[in-house]
Amino acid sequence: MGRTTTPKYSVTVSDGRYAWTPMGWDGRRYGTPTDASLARYVADMNASFAPGGSNAHLGVTGLVAATVRHNVANGAPVARWSAFVPCTIPDCGLSASLGRPVTPHSHPRAVS
């Protein structure tokens, strides 16, 4: 018989509609939770939502946020990922297109 172990870290993702139940962080596959390893996790998860993927039946187009935390109550965040990045362009055109000042704001992350 096997034994039950509690993962050291948990990852919570959001598709913009729902925040999903926290899952154990797969340290064997993704290593220590960092922003870069979390980005790899999100890329793999988003690929699974494609037609024919293992999660295609969920009807999700992609994740918009993910956080890895210590797996304890109110655990401190260890790594974060967002589909949006803060705008650093002084006049990116968003304010002009909306007809009002918009600061701070974000733009979708470039797909690599």
Torsion angle, CA of 51/57/60/66, rounded to 10 degrees? -110
Does residue 112 sit within a domain?
no
Does residue 109 sit within a domain?
no
Sheet holding 9-14, edge to edge: 23-24, 9-14, 65-70, 77-82
Does residue 54 sit within a domain?
yes
Does residue 108 sit within a domain?
no
Domain total of the chain: 1
Does residue 103 sit within a domain?
no
Q: Determine the structural domain holding residue 69 and report its residue range.
A: 9-83
pLDDT band at 101 (very low <50, low <70, confident <90, very high): low
C-alpha 20/C-alpha 24 separation (Å) is 12
Does residue 70 sit within a domain?
yes
According to the model, what pLDDT value does residue 15 have? Answer: 87
The pLDDT tens digits for 47-63 are: 999 999 999 998 888 89
